[in-house]
Amino acid sequence: MRVERTEAGVLVGAWPAHAERTALLEARGALLAWDVLADDPVPSARIHDLDRAADWLWEVYGTAAAAITSGAAEVTVPAEGDWRVRDACRVVAHLGWADAWWPASPTAGVPALDPALLRAELAVATGSVEHLLDAEDAVERALAAVGPFTADPAVDALAARLVALAEDYGVVLAEAAVPSRSSFALAAGGGEQAEGVTVLSGADAVDWALVPQGVVDAAADARWSLVRRQGSTFLEVAVSPGPRSGPPLAARFGQVEVALDDTDGLGRVTGRAPVPPTVLLLPPAQRVLTVYAPDFASPAAGPDPDARTRRAAIVARARSRVGSPTATLTERLAGRR
Amino acid sequence: MVSTVRTQAQPAEVALPRGLLIAQAWSALGDAVAPLSNPEGRPLARTVKLILDPLVLRPVQNPRFAAGAVGIEHVDALRDRITEAGPVLAATAAWFLVVKKERRKAGITDGNPQDLYFQRCYELASAHGDPRLDPAAVAGRAAAVLAEAHRREGPTLAGLRDFVTGHDAELTRLLDTAWAHPPVPRREPGPARPEAFLATCATTPDRALFAALVADSAGSRSAAELDLPGGARVRGLTDLDRPARPVLGHGAAKQNLPKPFDRSVVERLFGAVTSPLRDALDDVPALVRQEISRSAGPWQLADETGRVVLALGWEATVALVGGPPGPAGGATARLRLRWDREAYVHRALRMPSSMPDGVRADVDGVREAYQRRLWVRVHGRELRHDTVTADELWDVLDGVLRSVVLDQRDRLRSALERRSAGGPS
Q: Mind listing the pLDDT tens digit for each residue in A286-315?
A: 889 999 999 899 887 677 888 899 999 999
Are A265 and A306 contained in the same domain? yes
Rounded CA-CA distance A155/A38 in Å is 28
Rounded CA-CA distance B139/B142 in Å is 5
Sign of CA dihedral A128, A132, A137, A142: negative
What torsion, rounded to 10 degrees, do the Cα atoms B235, B240, B242, B244 define? Answer: -120
Q: Which of A220, A201, A222, A218 is nearest to A209 (CA)?
A: A218
Q: Helix crossing, B168-180 with B157-166: angle to 10°? A: 80
Any domain includes A220 = yes
Q: How far apart are the first and last CA of chain A?
A: 40
Are A143 and A72 contained in the same domain? no
Rounded CA-CA distance A284/A113 in Å is 38
Judge whether B402 is closer than 8 Å to chain A, CB to CB.
yes
**pLDDT tens readout for residues B178-224:** 999 877 777 777 777 899 999 999 999 999 999 999 999 999 999 98
Domain boundary among A82, A105, A138: A82
Q: Give the CA count within 13 Å in the CB-facing half-sphere of B260.
A: 27
Calculate what percentage of chain A has a pLDDT beyond 90: 68
Give mean pLDDT, residues A113-121.
93
Which member of A8, A101, A170 has the closest CB to residue B109? Answer: A170
**A117 and A332 in contact (C-beta within 8 Å)?**
no
Note the pTM of the prediction, 2 decimals: 0.89
User: Can you give the pLDDT at residue B357?
Assistant: 67
Q: Which of B349, B401, B407 is best to mutate for the A interface (most A CBs within 10 A)?
A: B349
**Residues of B with Cβ-Cβ distance to A51 under 8 angstroms:** 68, 203
What torsion, rounded to 10 degrees, do the Cα atoms B86, B91, B92, B97 define? Answer: 130
Are A172 and A215 contained in the same domain? no
Are A220 and A270 contained in the same domain? yes
**Residues of A with Cβ-Cβ distance to B18 under 8 angstroms:** 55
**B6 and A81 in contact (C-beta within 8 Å)?**
yes
Give Cα separations from A60 to A46, A83, A293, B105 (angstroms). 13, 7, 38, 40
Are A137 and A191 contained in the same domain? no
**Residues of B with Cβ-Cβ distance to A169 under 8 angstroms:** 112-114
User: Can you give the pLDDT at residue B363?
Assistant: 59
Are A122 and A198 contained in the same domain? no
**pLDDT tens readout for residues A249-287:** 999 998 899 999 999 988 899 999 999 988 888 888 888
Q: How far apart are the first and last CA of chain B?
A: 49
The chain B residue lying nearest A22, using CA atoms, is B348
Are A62 and A161 contained in the same domain? no
Predicted interface score ipTM higher than 0.95: no
Any domain includes A92 = no
Q: Which of A47, A89, A295, A304 is best to mutate for the B interface (most B CBs within 10 A)?
A: A295
Rounded CA-CA distance A258/A222 in Å is 13
Rounded CA-CA distance B200/B196 in Å is 7
Percent of residues in chain A assigned helix, strand, coil, to nearest 5: 35, 25, 45
Q: Give the CA count within 13 Å in the CB-facing half-sphere of A163.
A: 12
What DSSP string describes B243-265? --PPP------SSSPPPGGGS-H
Rounded CA-CA distance A53/B397 in Å is 19
Give mean pLDDT, residues A183-198.
52
User: Can you give the pLDDT at residue B393?
Assistant: 96
Are A125 and A10 contained in the same domain? no
**Residues of B with Cβ-Cβ distance to A27 under 8 angstroms:** none
Q: Which of A218, A208, A303, A294 is nearest to B349 (CA)?
A: A208
User: Can you give the pLDDT at residue A231?
Assistant: 86
Any domain includes A217 = yes
State the residue range of the domain holding A52.
3-82
Q: Which DSSP symbol is given to B226?
A: G
Judge whether B54 is closer than 8 Å to chain A, CB to CB.
no
Contact A82 B110 (CB under 8 A): no
The chain A residue lying nearest B67, using CA atoms, is A55
State the nearest Cα–Cα gap between B172 and chain A, in angstroms. Answer: 40
Rounded CA-CA distance B390/B197 in Å is 9
Contact A66 B353 (CB under 8 A): no
User: Can you give the pLDDT at residue B360?
Assistant: 65
Judge whether B41 is closer than 8 Å to chain A, CB to CB.
yes
Are A170 and A196 contained in the same domain? no
Domain boundary among A180, A196, A224: A180
pLDDT at A179 over 70: no
Are A130 and A254 contained in the same domain? no
Q: Which of A122, A167, A182, A181 is nearest to A146 (CA)?
A: A122
Which member of A96, A295, A298 has the closest CB to residue B349? Answer: A96
Are A277 and A221 contained in the same domain? yes
Q: Which DSSP symbol is given to A286?
A: G
User: Can you give the pLDDT at residue B66?
Assistant: 82
Give Cα separations from B50 to A60, A137, B41, B53, B113 (angstroms). 25, 15, 17, 6, 12
Which member of B104, B402, B420 has the closest CB to residue A245? Answer: B420
Q: Which of B117, B114, B119, B129 is nearest to B54 (CA)?
A: B119
Judge whether A82 is closer than 8 Å to chain B, CB to CB.
yes
**Residues of A with Cβ-Cβ distance to B344 under 8 angstroms:** 31
Q: Is A224 helix (H, G, I), strand (E, B) or coil?
A: strand
Q: Helix crossing, B304-316 with B331-348: angle to 10°? A: 60
Q: pLDDT tens track of chain B, all 425 residues?
A: 444 444 444 444 578 899 999 999 999 999 999 999 999 999 999 999 999 999 999 988 888 888 778 888 999 999 999 999 999 999 999 999 999 999 999 998 888 999 999 999 999 999 999 999 888 888 899 999 998 888 877 888 889 999 999 999 999 999 999 999 877 777 777 777 899 999 999 999 999 999 999 999 999 999 988 888 899 999 999 999 989 999 998 877 777 789 999 999 999 999 898 887 888 899 999 999 999 999 999 999 999 999 999 999 999 999 999 899 999 889 999 999 999 999 999 999 999 887 766 666 555 689 999 999 999 999 999 999 999 999 999 999 999 999 999 988 888 888 887 777 654 43
Any domain includes A147 = yes
Domain boundary among A31, A64, A82: A82
Contact A295 B356 (CB under 8 A): yes
Are A279 and A159 contained in the same domain? no
**pLDDT tens readout for residues A23-78:** 999 999 999 999 999 989 999 999 999 989 999 999 999 999 999 988 899 999 99
How many domains, in total, are found in chain A? 3
Which member of B17, B41, B110 has the closest CB to residue A54? Answer: B17
Check residue B368 and give left, alpha or beta (phi > 0: left; psi -120 to 50: alpha): alpha
Burial (Cβ within 10 Å: 0-12, 13-18, ≥19) of residue A332? middle
**A185 and A270 in contact (C-beta within 8 Å)?**
no
